[in-house]
C-alpha cells in the first residue's frame, strides 16, 4: 500500500493533534469537549477512541485507518470502473487514483476525509447496482452507507444531488427520493447539533483563483504535465456514456454547490472537504486511458505519470511537509523542562491541537494556569495572582504574536524570558521568576 510509505515521516500537525487529543479522552471528557466544539466530527472521534484503546496514539496507529480507507477507495473505484466500462478501465482508474499525490496526503492524515472518500465511492457503486438490479436491499444499503458518510462529515451529503443527476428514469428518481429522504432524516440530528457551532468555520475564505491553484497543487502536486495528462485522459474517458453520466455530476455538483453557497450565504468551501470528488476525475481518466490505442500505451503512460509525481510524493512524506512540527515541539519540551514546570496554552483551548505527543508533558503542571482543563483562560488579574507561585512557565502559542495571558506574562517584571523556539506555526517559550533564576 502506497499510503504506508513514510507514514511516520511527518509530525502530527494541529488538526491531527486535535483528533488525537480529543479521541484519547475518557468518554465523559470527550462529550464535554464536543459540547463546545467539533460535534460534526463526533463519530470519527469515537472510531479513533476505539483505535487508541487497542493500538495507542503513535503516527502509525492514528493514520492507519486513513491508509486502509484510501486503499479501499482505490479498490472500490476499480470495481466501479469495471462495472461501468471494462476491467481495464477499472484497473487503470484505480491505479491513477492511487498515484495522485492528494490520495497519499490524506491517506496519511489522522482525520476522516479518507473514510468519507471510501464510503462516498462505495455509495456511488451501490447506486449504480441499485439502478441496475432494482432491488430494495440495494437501495437500503445505499441509504445506509450515505448516512454514515453524512455522520462522518456533513459535506459528504453534497453527493446526494450529484447522484440525483446520474439517474435517467422516473422509477430510479422515485426510489432515490425515498433513499435520500431517509438519509436526510437520519442526518438531521447532526445538522441540529452542528449549526450552533458553525462559527468554527468562520475562518474560511471566499473561493478565488488562489483556491483553484491550491486545488491543482493538492491533487496533482502542482506538476503541469501530470495535470494536463490526467485532464486530457479524463476528457477522452467522458466520451463513454456510462462514465459521463456518473463522473460529470460527481465531479461538478458538490463543488458547484459548495462554491455557490460560499458566495450566496457564507464561505463553506475548502478543497479537502470535496476530496471525494477526485475519484470521479480518476474514473474518467481510467476510462480514457483504457480507450487509447495501441494497448501498450496505457502502461507506459501510467509509469510516466508515476515518475512525474515522484517529487510530489517525496515532498508529502518529508518531515517538513505539514504546517506544524508538533513532534519537534514535544521533543524540545521533554528535553528542557523540569518536573512541576507550569504550562500556559494561549488560548487555553490550544492544548488540543499541540498535545498529541502527551508523553512530553507527563511531569508538567498543565492545569494551574487555566480556569478549567478544556477551554478556560484565567482573567488577567487572577492569572497574575496564580502565576506568582510558579518558578518556571512554558508558553505554547501561535507564532503570529502574543495575546491574552502570554502578554500578561511578558509584562510581568517578576519573570524573564529564558529562551524561545519556533516550530513553523507554533512558538514555545520558557520564562523563569527573576528571584528564582538568581539563586
Average pLDDT, rounded, for the chain: 93
Helix ranges restricted to H, 24-135: 27-34, 42-55, 59-84, 87-99, 101-107, 113-133
Sign of CA dihedral 43, 326, 323, 197: positive
Q: What is the model's pLDDT at position 436?
A: 57
Q: Check pLDDT > 80 for residue 362.
A: no
CB 126 within 8 A of CB 246: no
Q: Check pLDDT > 90 for residue 32.
A: no
Give the separation between CA 404 and CA 145, rounded to whole angstroms. Answer: 45
The grid cell for 185 is: 432524516
CB 186 within 8 A of CB 145: no
Give the separation between CA 186 and CA 237, rounded to whole angstroms. Answer: 36
Q: Please write the tens of the pLDDT for every residue from 267-283.
A: 999 999 999 999 999 99
Helix ranges restricted to H, 221-358: 224-237, 241-264, 278-290, 297-316, 326-336, 351-354
**Stretch 225-230: mean pLDDT, rounded?**
92
Give the separation between CA 30 and CA 391, rounded to whole angstroms. Answer: 32
Q: What is the model's pLDDT at position 369?
A: 93
Confidence of residue 265 (pLDDT cuts 50, 70, 90): very high
Q: Check pLDDT > 80 for residue 438.
A: no
Q: Please write the tens of the pLDDT for every residue from 157-200.
A: 999 999 999 999 999 999 999 999 999 999 999 999 998 888 88
Confidence of residue 239 (pLDDT cuts 50, 70, 90): very high
**Stretch 70-90: mean pLDDT, rounded?**
97
Q: Check pLDDT > 60 for residue 437.
A: no
Q: What is the model's pLDDT at position 1?
A: 67
Q: Check pLDDT > 50 for residue 228.
A: yes
Q: Check pLDDT > 70 for residue 79.
A: yes
| Neighbour count for residue 192 (Cβ, 10 Å) | 10
Q: Check pLDDT > 50 for residue 439.
A: no
The grid cell for 125 is: 457503486
CB 273 within 8 A of CB 258: yes
Q: Check pLDDT > 80 for residue 44.
A: yes
Q: Which residues contact 351 (CB under 8 A, 6 or more apart)?
A: 21, 345, 366, 374, 396
- Can you state the percent helix, strand and coil of the chain, rounding each to 5? 70, 10, 25
Amino acid at each position: 500500500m502506497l499510503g504506508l510509505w513514510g507514514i511516520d515521516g511527518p509530525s502530527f500537525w494541529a488538526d491531527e493533534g486535535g483528533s488525537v487529543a480529543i479521541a484519547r479522552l475518557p468518554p465523559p471528557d470527550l462529550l464535554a469537549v464536543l459540547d463546545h466544539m467539533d460535534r460534526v466530527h463526533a463519530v470519527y472521534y469515537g472510531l479513533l477512541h476505539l483505535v487508541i484503546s487497542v493500538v495507542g496514539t503513535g503516527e502509525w496507529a492514528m493514520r492507519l485507518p486513513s491508509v486502509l480507507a484510501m486503499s479501499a477507495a482505490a479498490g472500490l473505484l476499480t470495481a466501479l470502473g469495471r462495472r461501468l466500462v471494462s476491467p481495464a478501465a477499472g484497473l487503470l482508474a484505480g491505479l491513477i487514483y492511487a498515484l495522485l499525490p492528494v490520495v497519499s496526503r490524506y491517506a496519511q492524515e489522522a482525520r476522516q476525509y479518507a473514510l468519507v472518500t471510501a464510503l462516498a465511492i462505495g455509495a456511488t457503486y451501490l447506486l449504480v447496482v441499485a439502478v441496475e438490479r432494482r432491488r430494495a436491499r440495494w437501495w437500503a444499503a445505499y441509504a445506509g452507507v450515505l448516512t454514515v458518510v453524512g455522520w462522518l462529515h456533513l459535506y459528504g451529503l453534497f453527493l446526494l444531488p450529484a447522484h440525483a443527476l446520474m439517474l435517467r428514469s422516473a422509477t430510479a428518481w422515485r426510489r432515490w427520493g425515498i433513499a435520500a429522504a431517509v438519509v436526510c432524516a437520519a442526518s438531521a440530528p447532526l445538522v441540529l447539533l452542528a449549526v450552533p457551532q458553525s462559527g468554527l468555520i468562520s475562518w474560511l475564505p471566499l473561493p478565488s483563483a488562489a483556491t483553484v491553484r491550491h486545488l491543482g497543487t493538492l491533487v496533482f502536486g502542482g506538476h503541469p504535465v501530470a495535470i494536463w495528462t490526467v485532464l486530457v485522459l479524463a476528457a477522452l474517458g467522458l466520451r463513454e456514456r456510462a462514465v459521463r453520466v456518473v463522473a460529470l455530476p460527481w465531479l461538478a455538483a458538490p463543488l458547484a454547490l459548495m462554491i455557490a453557497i460560499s458566495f450566496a450565504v457564507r464561505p463553506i468551501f475548502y478543497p479537502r472537504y470535496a476530496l471525494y470528488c477526485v475519484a470521479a476525475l480518476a474514473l474518467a481518466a481510467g476510462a480514457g486511458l483504457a480507450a487509447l490505442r495501441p494497448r501498450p500505451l496505457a502502461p507506459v503512460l501510467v509509469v510516466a505519470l508515476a515518475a512525474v509525481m515522484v517529487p510530489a510524493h517525496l515532498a508529502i512524506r518529508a518531515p517538513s511537509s505539514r504546517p506544524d512540527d508538533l513532534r519537534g515541539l514535544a521533543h524540545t519540551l521533554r528535553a528542557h523542562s523540569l518536573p512541576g514546570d507550569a504550562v500556559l496554552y494561549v488560548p487555553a483551548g490550544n492544548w488540543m491541537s499541540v498535545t498529541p505527543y502527551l508523553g512530553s508533558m507527563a511531569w508538567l503542571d498543565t492545569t494551574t494556569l487555566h480556569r478549567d482543563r478544556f477551554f478556560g483562560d484565567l482573567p488577567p488579574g487572577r492569572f497574575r495572582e496564580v502565576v506568582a507561585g510558579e518558578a518556571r512557565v512554558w508558553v505554547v502559542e501561535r507564532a503570529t504574536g502574543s495575546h491574552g495571558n502570554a502578554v500578561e506574562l511578558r509584562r510581568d517584571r517578576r519573570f524573564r524570558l529564558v529562551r524561545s523556539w519556533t516550530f513553523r506555526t507554533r512558538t514555545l517559550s520558557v520564562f523563569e521568576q527573576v528571584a528564582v533564576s538568581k539563586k
